[in-house]
Amino acid sequence: MLGVFIAAEKQKGLAVDVDGELGVRVAMSGLPELRGSEQDPAAVLVQLFLRSSLSPKSSEEKLIWSGWFCCVAGDDLLEDLPENFTCLPLFLVNGAESYTAIVGSWFQKTFDCCFRRLAISPLNLTWMAAMWTGCKVDKNTAATELLFSVPHLPQPLDISYAIHPEDAKALWDTVQKTPGEITQEEVDVFMECLYSHFHRHFKIHLSATKLVKVSTGIASAHCDGIIKFLQSQYLIGVLMLLTELAISQIQ
Amino acid sequence: MDEVVVEYIRRTVLKIPRDEIMAVLQKWGFLSEAQLQTINFRQTKESISHSVAQLCEESSANIKQAALLDIIYNHIYPNKRAWSVYHMNKTGEETDFFDFRDFKKKFRRQIQSALINVTINFREYEDNAIWIRIAWGTPYTKPNQYKTSYVVYHSQTPYVFISASTLRSNLPLLCQAMVVASNYYNIREMELRSHCLNSLKDIVFKRYSQNFQTNYPLQERNVLTENEDLRINDENRSEKERIHRLNQECFGDGPQPKLDFAQYKLETMFKSDPKWDVLEKKEPFRCLVKFSSPHLLESLKSLAPAGLADAPLSPLLTCIPQKARNYFKIREKKSLHPGSFVSP
């Protein structure tokens, strides 16, 4: 059904057709391993393959777009869910925006749902910065980098503040004192430390600017919902966080 | 060879904004006015470029003319390239008379003694700026006209502006050629880089309005000239004026040189408020900070008035034009013990 829809949409000229031959095949499959616990529903993978226009009969295909629905450790957060109702609040996409728009609109029409970019607030980004900095990683890991934006000046300014991962972790380890959990206060102190170190040198109040992106050796997250996973061992952990964010935005 | 040259000219023309193509071709002077009149400049750029290519082929344009067009293009649009600044040192005090022909001969000879497959072209401009274009080949292949480095040298100064582009491995050869040709002793790279060539010149030639410390208080200027509505009372008037005055002292009055970024490698100690009871390391807290903006100094200048920074702004930022650098390594200042030596 989705395949027919895509073909129809492309005929309307809504998508950019590079190869000239509209041979888009849709494949849907389940990913049962991608979940936090047994209570989570299995993830669903959607892939779009483009058949080579040169030899339509050949099996040569190129993966041009993939997206997957998942829900990781969402059980505690989804209350009052009727039986037989599957909730997959998180959708991750890799591929051209044009296809994302088509697939998204088909799902919205077919399932009466709403597709929207996951907006990640600066507050959530600071949580990610603190949590991911504290993760144990091997030697050659990337720095903890915070990207701040000051757009409303006469000339916009971007500030990249990268801390050596060992030093950032050392700081977080002394801040994080509650065993087994992370508190808002600890995240605040961690950020305050980084802000004041910066202020000592440059006299600039970073807290007054907008935090738009956080990068660590584990993963990176941008306020527009663009995520990069860098360590497979922490994939589920990051997905848990994102699932929580997605669910909180439904409510 | 002809096809390569003509195609190269065509691609150069494609880079020029459509409304300016005529003017650039006139500056180039290879095609006659009559020939230029035959081109329909209301076509698409693609079509215009083909018309120009056709004319060039008919007129047997050679590599030297093609190179000249590229120099003219880069001279008009220097900000498309990234430039680094180099400084040369002389052993003695004498200022030799600059002989352009001698310079060109020595430069060419120095490069070609190491690498014969190069295209080198020179052009001298009115402000004593010499533009050098080098297209690089390898010991086994002819020069690739699309892999070029540019050198801008003001012969009365020890400064060289280099846009090395893709082939950085040729940089040492390029520097050596500069030193030998200009009769200097050595050359070193300054920590100063930007896309805006004229701003780099402003900084090293001190052509911008510098800040100055005066013993006389600057005249109190009325900052709020726009809203003359007397019903609006500015609660923070004196604070605003204080910030404005300090900003003037740091940055000077005139327009700032245009830089794209400044980078700071921090190796200082982490100091925090004791109430937090955190990190007490004896080693430096290693950070890398990078400021980016279409016009960095103007952006930094506007931070304090916008309430995002204290005034005066940190000297680490305000010293950029005077120190003529935008790459810094900052270490903690060590306290001096009496009798110890401080190495420079």
**pLDDT for position B217:** 44
**pLDDT for position A251:** 63
Collapsed DSSP state (helix, strand, coil) of residue B120: strand
The shortest CB-CB distance from A200 to any of B271, B279, B302 is to B271
Q: Which two tokens stand for residue A203?
A: 């006299």
- Whether the CB-CB separation of B192 and B198 falls below 8 Å is answered with no
Helix axes A2-11, A97-111, angle to 10 degrees: 130
Q: Which residues of A touch B266 (CB under 8 A)?
A: 201
pLDDT below 50 — which residues of chain A?
13-21
All residues at 6 or more sequence positions from B106 whose CB lies less than 8 Å from its CB, including other chains:
B177, B180, B181
All residues at 6 or more sequence positions from A60 whose CB lies less than 8 Å from its CB, including other chains:
A51, A52
Closest approach of B24 to chain A, Cα-based (Å): 31
Q: Which of B206, B117, B118, B195 is nearest to B161 (CA)?
A: B195
Q: Which two tokens stand for residue B243?
A: 């910030």
Determine the Cα–Cα distance for residues B119 and B135; give it in Å rounded to an integer: 5
Q: Which residues of A touch B277 (CB under 8 A)?
A: 174
Q: Does A64 touch chain B (CB under 8 A)?
A: no
Q: Could you give the maximum distance between any two Cα atoms of chain A, in Å?
A: 67
Q: pTM for the whole thing? A: 0.80
Q: Does B4 touch chain A (CB under 8 A)?
A: no
- Whether the CB-CB separation of A187 and A126 falls below 8 Å is answered with yes
Question: Terminus-to-terminus CA distance in chain A, angstroms?
Answer: 30
Question: What single-letter DSSP state applies at residue A76?
Answer: T
The shortest CB-CB distance from A205 to any of B286, B295, B308 is to B308
CA of A152: which chain B residue's CA is closest?
A: B306
Q: Which of A76, A74, A77, A67 is nearest to A40 (CA)?
A: A74
All residues at 6 or more sequence positions from B14 whose CB lies less than 8 Å from its CB, including other chains:
B45, B46, B49
Q: Which two tokens stand for residue B54?
A: 């056709």
* Radius of gyration, alpha carbons of chain B: 26
- Whether the CB-CB separation of B41 and B23 falls below 8 Å is answered with no
Q: Which two tokens stand for residue B219?
A: 């005249």
Determine the Cα–Cα distance for residues B302 and B307; give it in Å rounded to an integer: 9
**Do A163 and B295 lie within an 8 Å CB cutoff?**
no
The total of other beta-carbon atoms located within 10 Å of residue B37's CB is 9
* Strands in B228-284 per DSSP E: 261-268
Determine the Cα–Cα distance for residues B42 and B35; give it in Å rounded to an integer: 16
Buried residues in B57-68 as b, exposed as e (16+ CB within 10 A): beeebebebbbb
The shortest CB-CB distance from B308 to any of A150, A164, A197 is to A150
A-B C-beta contacts closer than 8 Å: 118
CA of B298: which chain A residue's CA is closest?
A: A155
Instruction: Indicate the residue type of B19.
Output: D
State ipTM: 0.81
**pLDDT for position B344:** 26
**Do A164 and B287 lie within an 8 Å CB cutoff?**
yes
Q: Could you give the maximum distance between any two Cα atoms of chain B, in Å?
A: 81
Q: Which residues of A touch B288 (CB under 8 A)?
A: 143, 160, 162
**pLDDT for position B221:** 45
Closest approach of A160 to chain B, Cα-based (Å): 5
Q: What is the dihedral of CA B139, B145, B150, B151, to 10 degrees?
A: 50
Q: Does A146 touch chain B (CB under 8 A)?
A: no
* pLDDT, tens digit only, all 344 positions of chain B: 588 899 999 999 999 999 999 999 999 999 999 999 999 988 999 999 999 999 999 999 999 999 999 999 999 999 999 999 999 998 776 667 788 999 999 999 999 999 999 999 999 998 889 999 999 999 999 999 999 999 999 988 999 999 987 777 899 999 999 999 998 999 999 999 999 999 999 999 988 766 554 444 444 444 444 545 666 677 778 888 888 888 888 887 788 899 999 999 999 988 877 777 676 777 889 999 999 999 999 999 999 888 899 888 898 998 998 899 999 999 877 654 332 222 22
All residues at 6 or more sequence positions from B284 whose CB lies less than 8 Å from its CB, including other chains:
B266, B267, B268, B269, B270, B331, B332
- DSSP secondary structure string for all residues of B26-61: HHH--S-HHHHHTS-TTS-HHHHHHHHHHHHHHTT-
Phi, psi of B268 (to 5 degrees): -110, 170
CA of A202: which chain B residue's CA is closest?
A: B314
